[in-house]
Amino acid sequence: MSCVVAVVGATGVVGREMLRTLEARRFPASRVLALASPRSAGRRLPFAGGEIEVQTASPEAFAGVSYALFSAGATTARELGPAAAAHGAVVIDNSSAWRMDPDVPLVVPEVNMHAAAKRPRGIIANPNCSTIQMLVALKPLHDAARIRHIVVSTYQAASGKGHAAMEELLAQNHALANGSPPPAAILPGQLALNVLMDWKASPGSDYSEEELKMVNETRKILSDDGIAVSPTTVRVPVVTGHSEAIHVQFHRPMDAVEARRLLASAPGVKLFDEPYAPGRHPQPIHAVGSDDVFVGRVRDDLGVPGAINLFVVADNLRKGAALNAVQIAEGLMG
């Protein structure tokens, strides 16, 4: 079955990854529309050996579209998502606009693809990039022993904040190498050679918006409001590839031997766990351009019997955004 696909935000880092993903996976599209803001109308983007011209995203642009893959921020998703759905498109949105709406399923195909079947608004939400990779890694462990508590620290790449942040990190590296002050118009300060807290405050909480996304999205995706999640998120001077150190406790004890066995055959997971062989542990440079969520450093916790520690790395633009959205569309096509 062939269909028309619209990529909204096609000029952004996630949108361009969506085009590459649709092409690489030979998604059965008779036509792919590249939509963005009026600033980009007429720009040409490479696709399938040729080019497609960018059009302005508007309600009318969705006529005849079967799948609308949005990566254009929450404001655009709120404005245009319902219009695309009203034209009959299945909207799969990467922003935070719809994630916690009870009428919008929040889907990681390896974890809860079944949830995508019920979508009263015609909209499906892609979770936050950090939540996606964490849950791909934890799902097989959850199925075996049911998670009780997750303590997670993230090390998030600049591209997670979009094209401009990625460019600014590179400009900061260049400025520092030349003895100049690093520019910081997009990032909240010097990220090059540094680590930053880079998210907005959540009203009424000491936790950042990003940290609370990991709490609330995990509970929604795993359909378990009893799961405790204790997150700390930071931005590190990496261009692409988010890393996470995760401590996880279960309703029954698990050891590292069992965890490795479960992870070795888990969908979407690449177990990469030879930490003392040089370079044989998950790193962002391995994950960039890969579909897999890399999992390593699987260890029994030293202080909490029956709990596991692991290190998880994935390409935030790919499994953290574009690939997850395309996999949802593929799953719906059957």
Ligand X SMILES: NC(=O)c1ccc[n+]([C@@H]2O[C@H](COP(=O)([O-])OP(=O)(O)OC[C@H]3O[C@@H](n4cnc5c(N)ncnc54)[C@H](OP(=O)(O)O)[C@@H]3O)[C@@H](O)[C@H]2O)c1
242 is catalytic: yes
Nearer Cβ to ligand X, position 36 or 135? 36
Tell whether 279 is in a known binding site: no
Nearer Cβ to ligand X, position 37 or 232? 37
Nearer Cβ to ligand X, position 247 or 318? 318
Instruction: Provide the phi-psi class of 138: left if phi over 0, else alpha when psi is between -120 and 50, else beta.
Output: alpha
Calculate the dihedral angle through the C-alpha atoms of 322, 324, 327, 329, rounding to the nearest 10 degrees: -70
- Please give the helix or strand (H or E) that residue 153 lies within, else none: strand 147-156
Considering the candidates 87, 242, 247, 281, report the single residue annotated as catalytic: 242
Tell whether 209 is in a known binding site: yes
Tokens of 235: 């931005």
For the CB of residue 332, give the shortest distance to ligand X in the complex, in Å. Answer: 20
For the CB of residue 33, give the shortest distance to ligand X in the complex, in Å. Answer: 12
Q: What are phi and psi of 265, to 5 degrees?
A: -115, 15
For the CB of residue 5, give the shortest distance to ligand X in the complex, in Å. Answer: 16
- Residue 240: CB atoms within 10 A of its CB come to 21
For the CB of residue 109, give the shortest distance to ligand X in the complex, in Å. Answer: 15
Q: How far is CA 262 from CA 104, 140, 270, 275, 298, in A?
A: 30, 6, 11, 18, 11
Considering the candidates 87, 129, 247, 281, report the single residue annotated as catalytic: 129
Contact residues: ligand X, CB under 6 A: 9-15, 36-37, 39-40, 57, 71-74, 76, 94-95, 129, 159-160, 162-164, 316-317, 320-321
Tell whether 14 is in a known binding site: yes
Nearer Cβ to ligand X, position 15 or 284? 15
123-157: b or e for each residue (b if 16 or more CB lie within 10 Å)?
Answer: bbbbbbbbbbbbbbbbbbbbeebebbebbbebbbb
129 is catalytic: yes
Binding residues for NADP(+): 11-14, 39-40, 159-160, 316
Binding residues: 11-14, 39-40, 99, 156, 159-160, 209, 235, 316
